[in-house]
Amino acid sequence: MSLKQIQKDLQKLKNKEKAKILQGFFKTGKGQYGEGDIFLGIIVPLQRKTASNYKDLTLQDIQELLKSKIHEYRLTALFILIQQYNKADEKKKKKIFNLYLKNTDNINNWDLIDLSAPNIIGNYLLNRPRDVLYNLANSNSLWEKRISILSTFEFIKNNEYKDTLKISKILLNDNHDLIHKSVGWMLREVGKRVSQQKEEEFLKKYYKTMPRTMLRYAIERFEESKRQSYLKK
């Protein structure tokens, strides 16, 4: 298994028509959040399958994939990292965790983060201090902010919510739509999986001032009458 071979295998799967659609969907134009990102047009299931075929790729080769401008190289690299992380001892888990944090500039689109941050960053921090998430939340990087809130999805799945609410508060006044959506989504998950009461306690403090998109995502699962009462601020 080699870096060159996985690159060849991914190139064989490329789809030009799909790539054009993805280039637009992921906002790769000048001045957009995904500027410079290159797509081959490979669907996610095929990337997961390729990752399984290269699950023993070295961390050095994974690093090279993460440095690529080709989106599918980076996402497939993250899928491999998750597979390795899930089977790793504590020493290797720490290496993968550190590699992920070293590459936040390369984990630079929302799908890359959403499909990996909870699995690696969130899982690693389940029973550890979480200061790193607050550093990420206070970063100037859009992607590090999204990593900070999406990582808490793993906590929510384990019936924890406090860090989600604390990080949501830090990100309340962020001006980017991708942060509004991610915070609203995680607030919704707190209500869905842990406690709607805790979600509503947070919303009652901040719903009048939080961005509209964030609010809409957060209350999406509420009964219609309650949803409308929040929207009529």
pLDDT grade, residue 187 (50/70/90)?
A: very high
What does the pLDDT read at residue 42?
A: 98
pTM score, two decimals? Answer: 0.96
- How many domains does the chain divide into? 2
pLDDT at 83: 98
Average pLDDT over all residues of the chain: 96
What CA–CA distance (Å, rounded) separates 233 from 224?
A: 15
Under 8 Å between Cβ of 219 and 227: yes
Q: For residue 216, which amino acid is it? A: R
Question: Is 118 among the domain residues?
Answer: no
Q: Which residue has the higher pLDDT, 10 or 30?
A: 10
Q: Which residues contact 135 (CB under 8 A, 6 or more apart)?
A: none
Q: Considering the chain, what percentage of its residues have pLDDT values greater than 90?
A: 95
Q: Which of 161, 230, 169 is nearest to 199 (CA)?
A: 161
The count of C-alpha atoms lying within 13 angstroms of the C-alpha of 9, restricted to the half-sphere facing its C-beta, is 17
User: Which domain, by its residues, includes 146?
Assistant: 125-233
Query: Does residue 183 lie in a domain region?
Result: yes
Q: What is the pLDDT of residue 186?
A: 98
Residue 45 sits at the vertex; the CA angle it makes with 117 and 57, to the nearest 5 degrees, is 65
Residue 148 forms part of a structural domain: yes
Is the pLDDT at 1 greater than 80? The verdict is no
Residue with tokens 């969907």: 25
Same domain, 80 and 145: no
Do 145 and 51 reside in the same domain of the chain?
no
229 pLDDT tier (thresholds 50, 70, 90): very high
Q: Is residue 46 part of a domain?
A: yes
* Residue 1 and residue 42 in one domain: yes
Same domain membership, residue 46 and residue 20: yes
Asked whether residue 2 carries a pLDDT value surpassing 80, the answer given is: yes
> CA end-to-end span of the chain, whole Å?
57
Same domain, 233 and 129: yes
- Tens digit of each residue's pLDDT (9 = 90 or more) over 15-32: 999 999 999 989 998 999
Domain presence at residue 114: no
Residues 139 and 229 in one domain: yes
Residue where a domain stops, chosen among 59, 82, 109: 109
Residue 117 placed within a domain: no
Q: Are residues 144 and 216 in the same domain?
A: yes
Determine the Cα–Cα distance for residues 109 and 43; give it in Å rounded to an integer.
16
Residues 5 and 82 in one domain: yes
For residue 55, is it within any domain?
yes
pLDDT of 101 > 90? The answer is yes
Tell me the pLDDT band of 232, cut-offs 50, 70 and 90: confident
If asked whether residues 181 and 85 sit together in one domain, one would say no
Structure tokens at 90: 């504590």
CATH code for the domain of 215: 1.25.10.90
**pLDDT, average across residues 197-223:** 96
pLDDT at 145 over 90: yes
